[in-house]
Amino acid sequence: MIGRQPFSPFKARQRALVSKEVEVAHTRLLIVASLALSCFILVAARLIDVTVLAATNPKDTKHFIGKADYNLGRGNIYDRNGWLLATSLDSFSLYANPKIISDTENTISRLIKILPELDAKELRERFDQKQGFFWIKRQLTPQQKYAINRLGIPGLDFKTEKKRLYPAGSLTSHVVGFTDIDNRGLAGIERKFDAQLSSPAAPPKHLSIDIRVQHVMQTVLAKAVHKFNAIGGAGLVMNAMTGEVISMVSLPEFNPNDVSAEDGKARFNKATLGVYEMGSTFKIFTAAMALDSGKISMRSGYDATHPIRMGRFLIRDYHAKKRWLSVPEIFIYSSNIGSVKMAMDVGGNTQRAFLKKLGLLNKSPLELEEISAPIVPQRWRDVNTMTIAFGHGMAVSPIQITSAVAAMVNGGTFHAPTLIRKTGAPSGRRVISTKTSDEIRRLLRLVVSQGTGSKAEAHGYLVGGKTGTAEKVVGNRYKQKALMSSFVAAFPMNSPRYVVFVMVDEPIGNKESQGYATGGWVAAPVVSEVIKRIGPLLGVQPVNYSDPSVRNDLAINVLTIKSGKKSLASF
């Protein structure tokens, strides 16, 4: 039988000591656990601050990555129909903290295997400076990021940035432009609207450009540049009633997604930066000015039998008829002599004021920074009046010619050219009367149906236009056989909606063009093909040529005098 154990003071003290030690250990354990939990919370909070909150706080992010800028992206750019032309996507950039990289040489060696474009000497110098931060490579590909991440080198890390992407590539390069690596606009719309596009709540930009029409113009123009071994070209399509630029092409083009790999010459926008003597296209303005002045009518005419002497030079006709020519004939046959005599009858002061109204004496207001001022005479003497009458002695850009011609055919209202899609009612200023505009429409149609612009005809679209051929000026001298061959057209001429301008830079005649490199042989066929393809895209219905109302809209009586006998022909 086992009885109750007797009370022992020693054992009681022993139990009390054990209980006290357990209590102390428990307290210490709680303290250690609390400290550990606090440290964990601090580390987690810092991680959240660095990886999440910093992305929404530009100041904190900038402090984190040092002096480098951190871009938050830009507003998207769309064409008039909503096709994406520019956007921003996430990309990864590699940076280093040399202070915590133990083996510099090994790090550099392994990095160069993945990024062979890096300079080992430059990297070594930057590592040796022991800065707290520096960029190694901006905007890596996903494959490059993955390979570097696998190295597992402490002190190498990535930052998410925004990279500008241009889905249309070279198709809209001169219009949209491009940005630098920090998303600052350097050209085109990107530069002009840099502040708006880069604001925190950047709204998208909707351009007037139609990507479908842009593709047609670039494709057809590039084919002509290749066919005639030219050095480039420019093409424009404008809404004649609003001034909206539907297409603007400059060749050669460039890839805005990789500007560093491009030739700098390709970034030159021939449609807005280039200013050229436009040759006979200027006769449109000479005729409009003369007719609008009231001093000359469609029944007027001039003796074009002999060339005009100007100092030691002679002004001749390329297609000389050597007889009296009526105003329509001067236009049909592109007579320099007749155009000069019309301009002199109106006068130099009137000519200068007229061209100023058309925006030809000042820079175009188009929404680009890449705009050149026209080259105009400082003193407007008789010799200037004479040469400008047929498109020499004054240089303007293709965008200026296009917007000025639009005013000549749309009823007489000048609309400032724009690359931004218009939503409200168009506004403009009257520059010629409706009657004069109607007469110019008839003359332009006559050039295509009966004159030098026959190769611009596009069946069903009633094209009217004017050729332009001029020698390029190089070093203050005309460069023989270096031509700027152009054609400006409108369609449909019974109620013009669009103006098309095409220019080919230094074409070389071939067997197909019978050796000619003039605007009628080189640029006019491009206009024809472009109109045939964009007409359906733009909703322009083909015109029935036999419709009496159409014939009446374009009818013109041409008075001729041959062998001293007058005759009146209706076209």
What positions carry a catalytic annotation?
A: 280
The answer to whether the CB of 316 falls within 8 A of the CB of 387 is no
| Segments in 253-397 forming alpha helices (H) | 283-293, 327-332, 336-346, 348-357, 382-389
d(CA 329, CA 302): 10
Supply the DSSP symbol for 401. H
| Residues ≥6 apart with Cβ < 8 Å to 539 | none
Residue from 242, 321, 289, 480 nearest 388 by CA: 289
Is the separation of the CB atoms in 85 and 172 below 8 Å? yes
Strands 205-206 and 77-78: parallel
Q: Quick one: tokens of 5?
A: 């154990």
| DSSP characters over 54-108 | GGG-HHHHHHHHTTS--------EE-TTS-EEEEEEEEEEEEE-GGG-S-HHHHH
Measure the CA angle with vertex 23, ends 17 and 28; round to 5°: 125
Show the tokens assigned to 510: 């071939």
- What is the rounded CA–CA span in Å between residue 351 and residue 338? 15
